[in-house]
Structure 1
Amino acid sequence: MVYLSKIAVAAACFASSVLAHPGEHHDAQAVKREIVARDQMASAAKRSIDSCSNSLKHREVNARSVARRANIARDIRQKRNIKSKPKKYRRDLATLEIYEAINHNETALGYTPATPETTIFSANTSCILSPENTDGPYYVTGESIRKNVTEGQAGIPLYLEVQYLDINTCLPVPDVYVDIWNCNSTGLYSGVNVTGNEGSYDSTFLRGIQVSDSDGVASFETLFPGHYDGRATHTHLLSHQNVSVLSNGTIQGGTVSHIGQLFWNEDLRSAVEATYPYNTNTQTVVSNADDMWSIVQAENDYDPFPEYLYLGDDITDGLLAWIQIGINVTADQTSSSYYSVAAVLQADGGHAVASNFTGGSGGNGTTNGTAPS
């Protein structure tokens, strides 16, 4: 059986000042212009990647990806001693409403132990996934290269695999250094301390960097994000190229080739937030349809929702999620309005960079936030 939850179409106009992250305000007209620019970039990139997505080398990359994801799922289940049957959730990729709102459980899809792994662990490559988007006001430079970023935070374990592909060749992009960050289960970001996000500049939970391998893959052991007033549930990613790796395990220099946010469908978010400690979060929930960055406009040019697998029959067993992101390897976003730095983590702790959080209006993008070696 297929279950549909209808999503409302986002309002065509914004309020005069749109709240995004706590402490952040955007000019409504500027946001509209950035949404138009983002969609145009996604459309152009999709045309590019469509021209190479059926090449032999790209098919070989996908075959390796299927095998890798299947092995990861087996390894995690074995390490956690999960005996129950995993569940795969998929989406029809016709429109965002179908992206977002249709969940097929394994029974509906007819998955059995004999179902080919190519069916379960494949990923859509006909669309550009996770296009350029603002990095928000809570990006912190100087974070450590590490795979596990949980730091003992409570929540649903999430193993996230991000694969970067060149939009012109559909081939993997190695040596991409990927920053990840998201709020914890109750909506708090580490690394910043502002009104609405009373944290610590010295904290580092749910932040880290990984480098993509020869198949363009960077993986993280993290937690499913919580929610907070003003934004739909999301995970931030920012990719660097041509960086220098310092002896203390941080990076400096290079270019910023992609800034994006991953979103999570409402059925999954609801299932997560029925568990502790997500269910203690009293902040207002914002749906994907009502998010200020209008991800309801995704349609066929990009898909901001990762594929995911329940590692057991209960969501508390954890999730394996994966997404492919098409990038322009010659791009540099360090001077774009999407890129701003809120704080820098150095050897003596964290320090604020921006005193006022203005979000997508440009700002502190060129600050070097690496710790001294």
Structure 2
Amino acid sequence: MVQLSKFLAVAAACLAAPAIAHPGEKHDPHVVKREIHARDVMAAHAKRSLNACENSFHARELNKRSIARRSQTVKKLRQKRGITANPQKWRRDLAALEKWEAIDHNRTGILDYSPATPESVVFGANTSAVLTPTVTDGPYYVWGEVVRQNVKEELYSDGVDVFLEVQYIDVNTCKPVPGAVVDIWQANATGVYSGISESGNYAADGWDSTYLRGIQQTDRDGVATFESIFPGHYDGRATHTHLLAHLNATLLPNKTILADTGSVAHIGQLFWNEVLRSAVEDTYPYNTNTQDITSNAEDMWSIVQADSAYDPFPEYVYLGEGLDDGLFAWIQIGINTTADYTDNSYYSIAAFHGADGGYALSDSSVGGGAPAGASGSPPSGTGMPTASGSPGPSA
């Protein structure tokens, strides 16, 4: 059984290799075991809810708009970049997700398509019928990043361009979730996060760095878009991208989030298939990354994320014939809009970034907002979260 095999794999990973995590990340295998079970129950319930409404009129209309929007986005990106070669679509069978996760992943092939190929064939694939469950945000979440679609900066952001569309769907209604404030963060091509400067991750420019981090608000169709790069790998984790969604949060004039407003409705990680990752890492500057590679099958959180009820792998299109032209990727994420993980131990803030730079927080293992005792005094009025909740066993 898929679910049981993944449960056993995670349990084995937790017990045999507790170091498989972000540097600085702490995990209690017994707590992880309970969390896996709880997520499985929640995912199964959400899957049933989605199945009940996915054929409704508004769900069908939303899917039509999504297909048209993705098609137009790719056309505009290709025109802007002067690409004339036919794009390529990676196709895969969601029913074979367990094989996909395995080292001998399911290679379903690359499909070349022309303007005559129906848009529904190319851009219709999504994950609206499956749930991406909440997992740890890791110890490198930084509060105070700015609202921006393009999270690349002049330095430390070289790599394969990725134009990512994330669409949030209410699992109870199959309707989009507008107005969600979405954080994105990831490692650069050589496996280093910005905003953090401590053992395991010394970012150039230290706590003041902000590359490959940003915030966007979802539109009426629940869509937030980001321009970034394909993330680099680092020792102990499969290649992934972090996402965190706030609902009913207040955006400040300085383009950050007001403290203690709204809820944390979803914490998740997107994973990327091994064929794509291998192709990317043959290119510069990824091929200068000396850290060990961890496959999806070896990563404890990708195993937690992937099951028959949910799918953490974005769909994607090569904008041209090769990676030099970049990628367009998309994923739909089903969330429970009444959930709030603000006081959950998985909601962990490592640092704060204000108008005058970044500040380390004393203990990123505390859930429910930033722990007390920041090393530095963030400027007033910039949205610094306050501590609430108690220390959790993992973050």
Aligned pairs for 1:246-325 (under 5 A) are 246-252=252-258, 253-293=261-301, 295=303, 298-325=306-333
In the alignment, is the contact (CA less than 8 A) between 1:340 and 1:365 conserved in 2? yes
Residues 32 and 319 (structure 1), Cα distance of their counterparts in 2 relative to 1, 3 Å cut? same
* Equivalent position to 1:140, from 136, 139, 142: 142
Q: Secondary structure at the match of 1:51?
A: helix
* Equivalent position to 1:166, from 164, 167, 170: 170
Residues 225 and 125 (structure 1), Cα distance of their counterparts in 2 relative to 1, 3 Å cut? closer
Partner of 2:192: 188
Query: 1:84: Cα distance to partner?
Result: 1.3
Partner of 1:31: 32
Q: Give the distance between the partners of 1:105 and 1:320, measured in 2 at CA.
A: 18
Q: Secondary structure at the match of 2:53?
A: coil
* Equivalent position to 1:329, from 305, 312, 337: 337
Query: 1:172: Cα distance to partner?
Result: 0.4
In the alignment, is the contact (CA less than 8 A) between 2:96 and 2:106 conserved in 1? no
Query: 1:32: Cα distance to partner?
Result: 2.2
Letter of the 2:225 counterpart: S
In the alignment, is the contact (CA less than 8 A) between 1:50 and 1:126 conserved in 2? no
In the alignment, is the contact (CA less than 8 A) between 2:132 and 2:335 conserved in 1? no
1:55-105 Cα deviation digits (max 9, x unpaired): 111010010000100111011111111121100002101132344433444
Residues 122 and 15 (structure 1), Cα distance of their counterparts in 2 relative to 1, 3 Å cut? same
Partner of 1:341: 349
* Equivalent position to 1:221, from 205, 215, 227: 227
Q: Give the distance between the partners of 1:93 and 1:126, measured in 2 at CA.
A: 12
Partner of 1:205: 211
Letter of the 2:130 counterpart: I
Q: Give the distance between the partners of 2:27 and 2:307, measured in 1 at CA.
A: 24
Identical counterparts, % of pairs = 59
Query: 1:354: Cα distance to partner?
Result: 3.2
Partner of 1:176: 180
Residues 370 and 272 (structure 1), Cα distance of their counterparts in 2 relative to 1, 3 Å cut? farther
Query: 1:353: Cα distance to partner?
Result: 1.4
User: For structure 1, which segment, 285-294 or 22-31, has the greater mean C-alpha deviation from structure 2 after superposition?
Assistant: 22-31
Greater percentage in strand = 1
In the alignment, is the contact (CA less than 8 A) between 1:186 and 1:277 conserved in 2? yes
Q: Relative contact order (alpha carbons < 8 A, sep ≥ 6): 1 or 2 greater?
A: 1
Query: 1:254: Cα distance to partner?
Result: 1.3
Residue ranges of structure 1 left out of the alignment (5+ in a row): 1-6
Residues 313 and 219 (structure 1), Cα distance of their counterparts in 2 relative to 1, 3 Å cut? same
Q: Give the distance between the partners of 1:106 and 1:132, measured in 2 at CA.
A: 31
Query: 1:273: Cα distance to partner?
Result: 0.5
Q: Secondary structure at the match of 1:163?
A: strand
1:327-362 Cα deviation digits (max 9, x unpaired): 11111110112211000111121111134x54xxx4
Residue ranges of structure 2 left out of the alignment (5+ in a row): 1-5, 373-377, 383-395
CA RMSD of aligned residues (A): 2.1
Partner of 2:66: 65
Partner of 1:3: none
Matched, 1:242 2:242: no
1:9-62 Cα deviation digits (max 9, x unpaired): 946412263331122232222222222222222111111111101111101001
Q: Give the distance between the partners of 2:313 and 2:213, measured in 1 at CA.
A: 20
Q: Secondary structure at the match of 2:76?
A: helix
User: For structure 1, which segment, 295-304 or 55-64, has the greater mean C-alpha deviation from structure 2 after superposition?
Assistant: 295-304
State how many pairs are aligned: 360
Partner of 2:118: 116
User: For structure 1, which segment, 90-99 or 247-256, has the greater mean C-alpha deviation from structure 2 after superposition?
Assistant: 90-99
Residues 112 and 97 (structure 1), Cα distance of their counterparts in 2 relative to 1, 3 Å cut? farther
In the alignment, is the contact (CA less than 8 A) between 2:11 and 2:29 conserved in 1? no
Matched, 1:231 2:237: yes
Q: Give the distance between the partners of 2:117 and 2:307, measured in 1 at CA.
A: 29
Residues 371 and 331 (structure 1), Cα distance of their counterparts in 2 relative to 1, 3 Å cut? farther
